[in-house]
Chain A
Amino acid sequence: MRPQGKDLLGLATITTEEIELILDTSARMKEILSRPIKKVPALRGRTVINVFYEPSTRTRVSFELAAKYLSADCINISASASSVVKGESLKDTARTIEALGADVVVLRHPLAGAAHLLANTIAAAVVNAGDGAHEHPTQALLDLFTVKEKRGNLKGIKVVIVGDILHSRVARSNIWGFRKMGAKVAVCGPATLIPKDVERMGVSVHHSMEEALSGADVVMMLRIQLERQKAAFFPSLREYSRLYCLTPERLSLAKPDALIMHPGPVNRGVEISAEITEHARSVINEQVTNGVAVRMAILYLLSGGED
C-alpha cells in the first residue's frame, strides 16, 4: 500500500487510512533507530532535497537524519544561501531543483500554500515541512505517533491545544489529525489568538485553561511568539503567562496520566513552567526522537520504497 497522492501537503486532505499507514510504518522505522547501526539501504540512490525558506534547526535536522538513515542522498538549501536572494521565484527554484534530480523535495516556507504551488509545479514528491500558518503535517504525525505509542489508541481521548492557535500551523495539522483518528480536540487561548470559525474544524473553544484542561489526556502547549505582543494580540507576557502557562496546579486538572507535549522550542516560564518541562509526563524529548522515525516513514512511502 502507498499513500494516494504523490505529496504530503497537509492533514486536511489526507485519509484516515493514509494516516494509519504512516503511523504503522513509523513504528517499523523506530525499530531501526534502536539498532546499534541505524542505517538501512531502503532509499539508496534516491535524492532528498530540503529547501528551507525559514530558519529551522529541529525540523531540518530531523528530515536530514531521516533521509540519511534510509541511505538517501540529502542536500540542504536555505533561502539566504541560494538564488532566492537574487529574486528567483519559487516555481523557478523548484524547476531547478527538479532538474538537479530530486526525488523528494522537503519545503519549509513562510507563506501558506507554498507547498501546494511547488507540488503543482514539479513531478517529484513534495513534503510540506511547514507553510506559513497553514499546516505542518509531519509535526502532527509525530505527535499522533507519540500519543498512540503511549496510549495505544487515539479514539475518544481528549486533546487540549493551548496558546496561539491563530498563527499556528502545528495546531491546524494536529486538529485535522487527531479529529480524523477519533480524538476530541479542545483549543484554548485568548480571544485574539483563536481564529474565526475554528469550531467548524470540529473543536471546542475555550478561553479558560482550567475549563479546557478538565479531563484531558493530552496537553499540547504551543510556543508563543514574543513579537505578537507588539502587534497587540495580548497585553503583556506577564498576563499571558498568568492565564495560559501550564503550571503543576493547572496540570492537576487533567487526567492523572495526561501527556505533556510541545512542538518546541520552549519558552520556559512563559507557556510552560520550568518544573513541567522536566515533568515525568512530559514527552517533549520523545517527540523529537519520534520525529525522525515518522519522517523516515514519510520519505520511504513517498519514494515508493515498498517495491
Chain B
Amino acid sequence: MRLLIKGGTIVDPVSRRMFSGDVLVGEGKIAALGESLDDAVGDGGDVIDASGKLVVPGLIDLHVHLRDPGFEAKETIESGTRAAACGGFTSIACMPNTNPVADNQTVINYIRSKAKELGMVNVFPIGAITAGCAGKELCEMADLKEAGAVAFSDDGRCVADSGVMYRAMQYAAMVGLPIVAHCEDITLSAGGLVHEGYLSTMLGLKGIPAAAETVMVARDIILAEATGCRLHIAHVSTAGAVELVRQAKAKGLPVTAEATPHHFSLTDEAVAGFDPNTKVNPPLRSTADVEAVCAGLRDGTIDVIATDHAPHTPEEKDVEYGNAPFGMVGLETAVGLVWTKLVHTGILDPVEAVAKMTVNPARILGIPKGTLEVGAAADITIIDPELEEVVDPARFKSLGRNTPFAGWRLKGLPVATIVGGRVVYQREVARED
C-alpha cells in the first residue's frame, strides 16, 4: 500500500535544500519526490496532508538509554521506542550501560531482536568499550560489531585509564567503528553534583568544575590523533570543550561532537530550587558555556543534537538532591526544544537543525539513514514548526517523567513519525492547553 505525504516543505539535509512538494512512499521505501504526485498513490493509498509542515528524513537520536535489560522500572525497549516515535525519532542508538552491560553479543542480539519484534523504531545498539564498563579490559569489539553494534562507549562513565583508552581507540580504529566518549575526569568531578560556580556556592552543593570535562576532551582528542580512531564526544557542555573540538576539526582530526537540548536550553540557574530533575551529568553549566554550545552548534563545531535520554523512576528521583541519580528524559521534548531554542531564535536554520538530527548522526554511526533519497527506507518525520504545546510529563510515553521542562511552552513539534513506510506516530487533532 502506498502513502502520499502531500504539500509539505521537504527538507533535504544532504543537498541542504528546502522545497515544497510531495513524498510518495511505497513498499516501505521512498518511491518518488516531486510536485503533485496524487495520481501515483493509487486506490486505497493513504494521504497525509503536510501543508504548512516540514517533511524531513526520520530523526536519529545517537544517545539514548533504553535501560533494558536490567532496569525495566526506568524504561523498557517497548516504552523507550514508543517515546522515540512520539518524539519524532525513527532511529535511536542505545547506550550499553544496562544490566548486564552490552559488552557481549547476547545483549546486543537481545536488544536488536526485541526492538525488531516491537517494530516501533529502528534501534542501533552501542557496545561497551570495556567489560562491564569497568574501564579495565577491552570488549570483544569485532564480535560486537558482527552482532550489530554501531559504535563503542562506556557512557555514564569515563575510561579513566589513559592506557586503556589508547588501546581501545587503536582497536576500535582497526574494527572501523567510532568511540563515543563520555569525557569526565572523575578526580576533578569527584562527588560533585552541579556545575561549579555561583549556584553551587550559594546552594552548598558540591561543584563539578568545567575542567573535569574539558581536560578529558583534550586527552581523547590527543588519543584520536595518535590512533586515527574516529572520536565522537558525547554531550559537550563546556566552552573549553567546544573550543577544543573546533581546534581538532581545524586540524582535520576525525573528531565529531554532540550537544543535548538541556545543555543548550538551561543554565545552572535551573538548580536553584533543588529540583532533582535538574541533576544531570555533565551538569547544567554557566551562561557562558551555554552560549559557547550554541555558537558551536551554529558554526558546525557541534555536528549532532542528541538527547542523552536517561529515564529514572519517581522513587529514585523524588529524594534529596544528593541522593538522586543523574539524568533526565529527552526523547519527547527534543524537537520542541530544538525549534523553540535554536530555530525560532535564528541560531540554526531548519536545514541545519535537521542535519544535526539526521544525516550527521547517520554518517557518524555509518548507518544508511537520514536521507529522503528515492529508494531509501521510508523513515520520515513531519514537523509542524508553528504548533505549540505545554510540556506535560504525565503524557509521556516514556516511563521516565524526570524532566526539568515540565510546564514549558514549546513551539515546533513532531506531528507524524513514519518508519519503513509505516506510520508509528501521528498526532491527534491539536489539543487545547
Contacts and interface: CB of A to CB of B under 8 A. Distances in A.
Interface of A: 12, 89-91, 109, 111-114, 116-117, 131-135, 169, 172, 195-198, 200-201
29 contacts: A89-B315, A91-B318, A111-B320, A111-B322, A112-B203, A112-B204, A112-B205, A112-B322, A113-B205, A113-B274, A113-B322, A116-B274, A117-B319, A117-B320, A131-B204, A132-B204, A132-B322, A133-B205, A133-B206, A134-B205, A135-B204, A195-B200, A195-B207, A196-B197, A196-B198, A196-B200, A196-B201, A196-B207, A201-B202
Interface in B184-209: 196-198, 200-207, 209
B323 interface: yes
Contacts of B200: 195-196
Contact of B198 (A91, A114, A197): A197
B47 to A, nearest CB: 50
Contact of A172 (B202, B273, B318): B202
Nearest to B320: A111
Contacts of B198: 196-197, 200-201
A59 B200 CA distance: 25
B201 A111 contact: no
A12 B205 CA distance: 15
Given A112-B204, A112-B205, A132-B204, A89 B319 contact: yes
B274 A117 contact: yes
Contacts of B203: 112-113, 134
B321 interface: yes
Interface string B9-22: 00000000000000
B353 to A, nearest CB: 33
* B interface, size bucket: 20 to 34
Contact of A113 (B196, B197, B318, B320): B320
A172 B198 CA distance: 12
Interface string B292-334: 0000000000000000000000010011111100000000000
A169 B198 CA distance: 15
Interface in B46-60: none
B405 to A, nearest CB: 19
Given A111-B320, A111-B323, A117-B274, A133 B196 contact: no
> Which of the listed residues A112, A133, A172 has the most CB atoms from chain B within 10 Å of its own CB?
A112
Contacts of A113: 203, 205, 274, 320-322
Interface of B: 196-198, 200-207, 209, 273-274, 315, 318-323
A12 B272 CA distance: 11
Contacts of A12: 202
Query: Closest 3 interchain pairs by CB?
Result: A113-B274, A133-B204, A134-B204
A3 to B, nearest CB: 19
Residues of A contacting B: mostly: mixed
Contacts of B206: 133
Contacts of B274: 112-113, 116-117
Nearest to A171: B204
A111 B194 CA distance: 13
B91 to A, nearest CB: 38
A197 B204 contact: no
A215 B430 CA distance: 67
A196 B321 contact: no
B316 to A, nearest CB: 10
A94 B44 CA distance: 61
A89 B314 CA distance: 12
Given A91-B319, A197-B197, 10 more contacts: A112-B203, A112-B274, A116-B273, A116-B274, A117-B321, A134-B204, A134-B205, A169-B204, A196-B200, A196-B209
A259 B207 CA distance: 33
Contacts of B323: 111
A109 B201 CA distance: 18
A110 to B, nearest CB: 8
A279 to B, nearest CB: 30
B201 A198 contact: yes
A126 to B, nearest CB: 13
Contacts of A201: 198, 201-202
Contacts of A198: 201
Nearest to B206: A133
A111 B321 contact: yes
Contacts of A114: 320
Given A90-B320, A111-B322, A116-B273, A132 B205 contact: yes
Contacts of B207: 195-196
Contacts of A109: 320
Contacts of B319: 89-91, 117
A12 B321 CA distance: 18
Contacts of A133: 204-206
Contacts of A200: 198, 201
A116 B370 CA distance: 45
Nearest to A199: B198
A134 B320 CA distance: 13
A200 B198 CA distance: 7
Contacts of B196: 196
> Which of the listed residues B200, B203, B273, B322 has the most CB atoms from chain A within 10 Å of its own CB?
B203
Given A91-B318, A111-B320, A117-B274, A195 B201 contact: yes
A112 B321 contact: yes
B192 to A, nearest CB: 12
A117 B204 CA distance: 15
Contacts of B322: 111-113, 132
Nearest to A9: B274
B268 to A, nearest CB: 11
Contacts of A196: 196-198, 200-201, 207, 209
> Which of the listed residues B197, B207, B273, B322 has the most CB atoms from chain A within 10 Å of its own CB?
B322
A161 to B, nearest CB: 14
Given A113-B320, A117-B320, A172 B197 contact: no
A172 B320 contact: no
B364 to A, nearest CB: 35
Nearest to A117: B320
> Which of the listed residues B202, B315, B318, B319 has the most CB atoms from chain A within 10 Å of its own CB?
B202
Contacts of B201: 195-198, 200-201
> Which of the listed residues B201, B204, B206, B315 has the most CB atoms from chain A within 10 Å of its own CB?
B204
Nearest to B271: A113
A172 B200 CA distance: 12
Contacts of B209: 196
A42 to B, nearest CB: 32
A114 B35 CA distance: 61
Nearest to A91: B318
A198 B202 CA distance: 8
